[in-house]
């Protein structure tokens, strides 16, 4: 028995829907539980790390050492998050989770954060020095190398 035109159209439509579902399921690999594109997280972390780093250099040149410390540390944190993302596919949601993940899985990264975080906190209530800003800047460069990002 030959199928009528309406039946063929419906079958064709179902075929197209199934094909689209397969294409969507292939795309899902690039989307996290929140519905965000994973590539977007990576791009944002890289862009932020570079922006903070370059701004830190600008502040260092202007001898605004507190601002330089804050910006270099923010760059460092963005690169730590990128490293964690590269290794695990996830990004920390807070300083607490960042410290916990790095302490449990990446002790060398934890050591950098643990060493520099107090200076970041102190930058709100103490005057920072050029030397300290340079130390955090160098730690940021170390993280950039680990993530294979050029600053």
> Are both 120 and 79 inside the same structural domain?
yes
**CA–CA gap between residue 46 and residue 82 (Å, rounded):** 7
By residue range, what is the domain housing residue 20? 1-30
> Are both 66 and 105 inside the same structural domain?
yes
Q: What angle do CA 22, 28, 30 make, to 5 degrees?
A: 135
Total tally of structural domains belonging to the chain: 2
> Are both 55 and 117 inside the same structural domain?
yes
Q: What is the model's pTM? A: 0.74
**CA–CA gap between residue 105 and residue 100 (Å, rounded):** 8
pLDDT tens figures, 59-114: 999 999 999 999 999 999 999 999 999 999 999 989 899 999 999 999 999 999 99
């Amino acid at each position: 028995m030959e199928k009528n035109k309406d039946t063929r159209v419906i079958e064709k439509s179902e075929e197209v829907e199934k094909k689209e579902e397969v294409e969507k399921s292939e795309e899902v690999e690039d989307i996290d539980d929140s519905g965000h594109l994973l590539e977007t997280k990576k791009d944002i972390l890289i862009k932020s790390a570079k922006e903070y780093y370059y701004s830190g250099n600008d502040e260092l040149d202007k001898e605004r050492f507190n601002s330089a410390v804050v910006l270099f540390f923010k760059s460092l944190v963005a690169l730590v998050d990128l490293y964690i993302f590269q290794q695990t596919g996830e990004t920390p949601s807070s300083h607490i989770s960042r410290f916990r993940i790095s302490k449990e899985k990446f002790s060398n990264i934890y050591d950098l954060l643990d060493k520099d975080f107090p200076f970041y906190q102190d930058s709100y209530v103490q005057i920072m020095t050029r030397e300290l800003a340079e130390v955090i800047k160098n730690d940021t460069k170390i993280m950039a190398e680990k993530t294979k990002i050029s600053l």
